[in-house]
Amino acid sequence: MSWQGKVLRVNLTAGTCTSEPLNMAWAEAYLGQRGLATKYLLEEIDPKVDPLSPDNKLIIATGPLTGTNASTGGRWSAVTKGPLTGAIACSNSGGQFGGELKMAGWDFIIFEGRSEKPVYLYLEDEHAELLDASHLWGGSVWQIEPQIKKAHEDPLIRVASIGPAGENMVRYACIVNDLHRAAGRSGVGAVMGSKHLKAIAVRGTTGVNVVDHKKFFAAVKATNTTLNDSEGRMGLTRYGTIPMMDITSSFGALPTRNNREVQFEGHEQINVTAMQEPNERGHTNFIANGACFGCTIGCGRICHIDPEHFSVKDRPQYQHASGGLEYETAYALGAAVGVNDIDAATFAGFMCNEYGMDPISLGGTIAAAMELYDIGVITQEHTGGLDLAFGNAEVLCQISEMAGKGEGFGVDIGLGSKLLCEKYGRPDLSMAVKGQEFAAYDGRGMQGMGLAYATSNRGACHLRANPYADDFGTTAPEGKPIMVKDSQDLIAAIDSSGLCVFTTHAGVEVTHYANQVDAACGGGWTPERFLETGERIWNLERQFNLAAGLTAADDTLPKRILEEPAPSGAAKGMVCQLPHMLPKYYELRGWTADGEIKSETLSRLGLG
Amino acid sequence: MQVSLKLVGTLVDQLPDAHPLENARGTNVLQLSGEQDVSGLLRHVGLSIDSEYFAMINGDHVRSDELVGTKLNDGDAVILVPPMKGG
């Protein structure tokens, strides 16, 4: 079977590493990665725990298809209680790290407690040990990853680490692996920092088995053929995700200047053309696409900043090729802050990778600070003289670096928009759900996305539901609840399998996922069971959140989205119809009107 | 009749070798003869009328199933995008 059947438990307080068998009864019910790690977390911690205390645990989790040759089978997740939201945090990443961890023979690593001094975990197949990281503490991701490889004299070691943002417990610090892939959202890097765990370095040589080789290869081949022929796959390969910029801006769903507007007049300076065509000096931002472990899509963008651009002009260390803008990053470090400079946004994105921050939350927080500055609540006395005006590309670059390093007003930016706006007395200006900043879609123009944000278990997120096609088809709220609910369930299962959710954008359907899992894990994984597993996982996450103290009152959106009509675009004059959609959504979920899970629903899903 | 057209993403790659756009990745001004709807514009540039498109005309959204029969007027600005999901 493609589960390795092994969990590494690392007690950072005691400094011990012990191996234990994976709970296979739970694996049959929750599959792996997101679902199974949430089950472990709910069983092992009090959901009311302080996320940054030693009592919280951090689970690094692979899925059964991680490390196999299924296309996109390189995904891994960090699951913990999130410091940004106080809710379940599950942050998913690609790169090479997940496949390497699985190849080393482990499904999960569970970190518990807190080390007295900084450490990193070194794994070489069975061998696991905690090593001193005092000399690495304070270093950036880009500094320490090569240092670790050099120290072990092995360039093929894969590293997941935190930068200074994680050490400083920035609420949206991420865990970066392979230099520019990240478990980005919800502050999982801050939890790692709170445990004084600087990095996880892994080298795996054992391989990953599957139950039925012939059937598995047939299922993988069928999926790969579908991917290969898909128009969505072709678009992702050639252009990445950034073509969405033209769509949302044209449609009127591009959150602009902290959602004051929904169309950005500068979108053509941060779109796919700006990325892939030469600028006035003949420099092209885009170099090539890149792919994660086993991926046949290759949506990643490898880019470099014009060496004449102000952000890198005298800084040759930032003139190299690295992970470039995705649509979300281009939105958050572009339209959200009113900046129409693709190289400035790329630089701010580099800061996120180097110092370990989620670019969506960073951009959302800077956008909130810019609005507070615009209305005079924040002044240059607060910012240390920085002119925090919307559209100021120089200040975007400066404040991003300051947030990463924990310097000056960057410390306030590190709070996240919710705490920042509360600090300055305007909590209504935080464009967030459950404390997590919006992704690149406005919930007025895209009603389904508004519902998806409000109901996402980890706070506002574009990766928890899939209402895109219908949202661009109609702004009417009818029909959105079932679409959001069903896609949440499908994605929860995909996120638990080891595969990438972007396959849903490229023609892959539930039968493809189920057939691959079925062949890899042993029989019985029908499409129906796959979807029901997703529904079980969604409800398990809800159980965690309810036990943590969240209620239906947290399934909401900022006042701006519920009360201020969209100023332009397809939904001009409309607010998000959340009050119309939410009761139907709860009903479809089998929840009470108060958002509690009904006992019959728990019973049906085996959660009671 | 004169209209402007902008193609987004993979639509540029779906153009035939011989197409009338001077700047396929930018905004193009086109002369169309007679009364035309969006399907006529698609035929003019060589794109399939059987595919799904997301379209905006002068900033207003036009549903996929309304592209045939939506009349174009002199000076219209048309943006066409292939079906896309998020990221």
User: Residue A289 is part of which domain span?
Assistant: 256-430
Across the interface, do A243 and B84 touch by the CB < 8 Å criterion?
yes
Looking at the domain assignment, is residue B86 inside a domain? Answer: no
Structure tokens at A485: 């609910």
Chain A residue at shortest CA distance from B65: A473
- pLDDT for A84: 98
Q: Is the pLDDT of residue A473 over 90?
A: no
Q: Give A268-277 pLDDT, tens digit per residue.
A: 999 998 999 9
% of chain A exceeding 70 in pLDDT: 100
Shortest Cα–Cα distance, B33 to chain A (Å): 27
Q: Are residues A75 and A185 in the same domain?
A: yes
Q: Are residues A185 and A45 in the same domain?
A: yes
CB-CB contact of B45 with B21 (8 Å):
yes
CB-CB contact of A125 with A208 (8 Å):
no
% of chain B exceeding 90 in pLDDT: 25
Q: Which of A203, A221, A243 is the last residue of a domain?
A: A203
Helix (H, G, I), strand (E, B) or coil at A127: strand
Beta bridge partners of B79: B6, B56
Q: Average pLDDT for residues A292-296, to the nearest whole number? A: 96
Across the interface, do B86 and A244 touch by the CB < 8 Å criterion?
yes
Q: Give A525-543 pLDDT, tens digit per residue.
A: 999 999 999 999 999 999 9
Across the interface, do B59 and A250 touch by the CB < 8 Å criterion?
yes
Q: What is the torsional sign of CA A325, A331, A332, A337?
A: positive
Q: Give A308-334 pLDDT, tens digit per residue.
A: 999 999 999 999 999 999 999 999 999
> Rounded to an integer, what distance in angstroms lies between the CA atom of residue A7 and that of residue A16?
14
Q: Are residues A71 and A153 in the same domain?
A: yes
Chain B residue at shortest CA distance from A263: B59
Local structure of residue A529 (DSSP, 8 states):
H
CA angle A165, A170, A172 (to 5 degrees): 100
B17 touches chain A (CB under 8 A): no
> Rounded to an integer, what distance in angstroms lies between the CA atom of residue A439 and that of residue B87?
9
Looking at the domain assignment, is residue B75 inside a domain? Answer: yes
Q: Is the pLDDT of residue A164 over 70?
A: yes
> Rounded to an integer, what distance in angstroms lies between the CA atom of residue A333 and that of residue A360?
8
**SS3 sequence of A37-69:** HHHHHHHHCCCCCCCCCCCCCEEEEECCCCCCC
> Rounded to an integer, what distance in angstroms lies between the CA atom of residue A516 and that of residue A223?
9
Q: Average pLDDT for residues A198-204, to the nearest whole number? A: 98
Across the interface, do B87 and A241 touch by the CB < 8 Å criterion?
yes
Q: Give A492-511 pLDDT, tens digit per residue.
A: 999 999 999 999 999 999 99
- pLDDT for B86: 64
Looking at the domain assignment, is residue A105 inside a domain? Answer: yes
A438 touches chain B (CB under 8 A): no
In this structure, which amino acid lies at residue A328? E
Q: Average pLDDT for residues A38-48, to the nearest whole number? A: 98
Q: Are residues A87 and A117 in the same domain?
A: yes
Chain A residue at shortest CA distance from B62: A473
**SS3 sequence of chain B:** CEEEEEECHHHHHHCCCCCCCCCCCCEEEEECCCCCEHHHHHHHHCCCCCCCCEEEECCEEECHHHCCCCECCCCCEEEEECCCCCC
- pLDDT for A474: 86
**pLDDT, chain B, mean:** 85
Looking at the domain assignment, is residue B87 inside a domain? Answer: no
Chosen from A250, A268, A470 to mutate, greatest number of chain B CBs within 10 A: A250
Helix (H, G, I), strand (E, B) or coil at A18: strand
Better-scored residue on pLDDT, A569 or A545? A545
Q: Nearest by CB to B85, which of A251, A469, A568?
A: A469
Across the interface, do A238 and B85 touch by the CB < 8 Å criterion?
no
Residues of B in contact with A463 (CB under 8 A): 86
B61 touches chain A (CB under 8 A): yes
In this structure, which amino acid lies at residue A8? L
% of chain A exceeding 90 in pLDDT: 96
Looking at the domain assignment, is residue A210 inside a domain? Answer: no
Chain A residue at shortest CA distance from B77: A250
Q: Is the pLDDT of residue B84 over 90?
A: no
Structure tokens at A294: 């086993």
CATH at B8: 3.10.20.30
Those residues whose C-beta lies under 8 Å from the C-beta of residue B30, and which sit 6 or more positions away, are B2, B3, B4, B5, B20, B21, B41, B44, B45
Q: Average pLDDT for residues B23-45, to the nearest whole number? A: 88
CB-CB contact of A251 with A445 (8 Å):
yes
Structure tokens at B57: 């005309």
Q: Which of A380, A403, A430 is the last residue of a domain?
A: A430
pLDDT band at B50 (very low <50, low <70, confident <90, very high): confident
Shortest Cα–Cα distance, A590 to chain B (Å): 27
Better-scored residue on pLDDT, A289 or A470? A289
Looking at the domain assignment, is residue A18 inside a domain? Answer: yes
- pLDDT for A45: 98
Say how far residue A29 (Cα) sits from the centre of its chain. Answer: 24
Report which of A63, A50, A10, A75 is spatially closest to residue A191, judged by C-alpha positions.
A50
Q: Average pLDDT for residues A180-203, to the nearest whole number? A: 98
Residues of A in contact with B12 (CB under 8 A): none
Domain count, chain A: 3
Instruction: Give the burial string for A335-370 (b: 16+ CB within 10 Å, else e).
Output: bbbbbbbbbbbbbbbbbbbbbbbbbbbbbbbbbbbb
Q: Is the pLDDT of residue B62 over 90?
A: no
> Rounded to an integer, what distance in angstroms lies between the CA atom of residue A526 and that of residue A537?
17
- pLDDT for A62: 98
Beginning with the edge strand found earlier in the chain, give each strand of the sheet holding A158-161 in spatial order: A127-132, A119-124, A197-203, A158-161, A175-177, A181-183
Q: Is the pLDDT of residue B85 over 80?
A: no
Q: Are residues A160 and A81 in the same domain?
A: yes
CATH at A314: 1.10.569.10
Shortest Cα–Cα distance, B2 to chain A (Å): 21
User: Residue B62 is part of which domain span?
Assistant: 2-81
Give the count of alpha carbons within 13 A of A394, CB side only.
4
Ramachandran class of A173: left when φ > 0, alpha when ψ lies in -120 to 50, beta otherwise: beta
Local structure of residue A591 (DSSP, 8 states):
B
**SS3 sequence of A192-242:** HHHCCEEEEEEECCCCCCCCCHHHHHHHHHHHHHHHHHCHHHHHHHHHCCC
Ramachandran class of A252: left when φ > 0, alpha when ψ lies in -120 to 50, beta otherwise: left
Residues of B in contact with A252 (CB under 8 A): 61
CB-CB contact of A333 with A363 (8 Å):
yes
Q: How many CB atoms lie within 10 A of CB A54?
A: 16
A343 touches chain B (CB under 8 A): no
Q: Are residues A152 and A173 in the same domain?
A: yes
Q: Are residues A466 and A579 in the same domain?
A: yes
User: What residues of chain A, 298 to 317, have a C-beta less than 8 Å from chain B?
Assistant: 299
Chosen from A242, A246, A329, A505 to mutate, greatest number of chain B CBs within 10 A: A246
Across the interface, do A246 and B9 touch by the CB < 8 Å criterion?
yes
- pLDDT for B64: 73
Domain count, chain B: 1
Q: Are residues A453 and A397 in the same domain?
A: no
Residues of B in contact with A297 (CB under 8 A): none
> Rounded to an integer, what distance in angstroms lies between the CA atom of residue A393 and that of residue A377?
21
Q: Is the pLDDT of residue A286 over 90?
A: yes
Angle between helix A213-229 and helix A231-239 axes, rounded to 10 deg: 70
CATH at A20: 3.60.9.10
Looking at the domain assignment, is residue A233 inside a domain? Answer: no
In this structure, which amino acid lies at residue B84? M
A466 touches chain B (CB under 8 A): yes
Shortest Cα–Cα distance, A60 to chain B (Å): 23
Looking at the domain assignment, is residue B7 inside a domain? Answer: yes
Q: Average pLDDT for residues B32-58, to the nearest whole number? A: 86
- pLDDT for A155: 96
Q: Give A417-448 pLDDT, tens digit per residue.
A: 999 999 999 999 999 999 999 999 999 999 99
Q: Are residues A308 and A451 in the same domain?
A: no
Q: Are residues A387 and A307 in the same domain?
A: yes
pLDDT band at A68 (very low <50, low <70, confident <90, very high): very high
Looking at the domain assignment, is residue A217 inside a domain? Answer: no
CB-CB contact of A464 with A491 (8 Å):
yes
CB-CB contact of A585 with A515 (8 Å):
no
CATH at A532: 1.10.599.10
**pLDDT, chain A, mean:** 97
Looking at the domain assignment, is residue A226 inside a domain? Answer: no
Ramachandran class of A363: left when φ > 0, alpha when ψ lies in -120 to 50, beta otherwise: alpha
pLDDT band at A590 (very low <50, low <70, confident <90, very high): very high
- pLDDT for B87: 61
Shortest Cα–Cα distance, A606 to chain B (Å): 32
Which helix (H) or strand (E) is A537 found in, with range? helix A527-548
Local structure of residue A9 (DSSP, 8 states):
E
